[in-house]
Amino acid sequence: MAIFLIDLPPNDMQRRLGDALTVYVDAMRYPRGTEAQRAGMWLEHIRRRGWQGVGVVETDAAEAAGGIESPPADELSNAPLLGVAYGYPGAPGQWWQQQVVLGMQRGGSPP
């Protein structure tokens, strides 16, 4: 078995949303059912300008001389998902941007 970091473009993230949310809920130790509550928000995030996602997958990989040979892209895109991360540029009015501005103001810094 070998672990690979893969890009998760928006269409792949949408296709694997259930798996990604399961990984997220397990990692955060949120109660079951949180997946359904977060799905709409994640879908909205995926549509934001500049969104990028990555996943960590585990798959059988052939050993080549000097290392592990990467499996074909279609195999990686369907391999079990072990980890997930995504991000996008913030913008005024978004929750996280508001939290950062408030934190900076509380710390005496200009936003």
Which structure tokens are listed for 76? 């990686």
Residues with Cβ < 8 Å from 76, sequence gap 6 or more? 4, 6, 57, 59, 70
- Give residue limits of the domains in the chain: 2-106
Please answer whether residues 99 and 106 qualify as being in contact, where contact means their C-beta atoms are separated by less than 8 angstroms: no
Does residue 84 carry a pLDDT above 60?
yes
pLDDT mean over 28-32 = 97
Confidence of residue 69 (pLDDT cuts 50, 70, 90): confident
CA distance 16 to 12: 6
For 31, the 3-state DSSP assignment is coil
pLDDT of residue 52: 98
Instruction: With 0.85 as the threshold, say if the pTM is over it.
Output: no
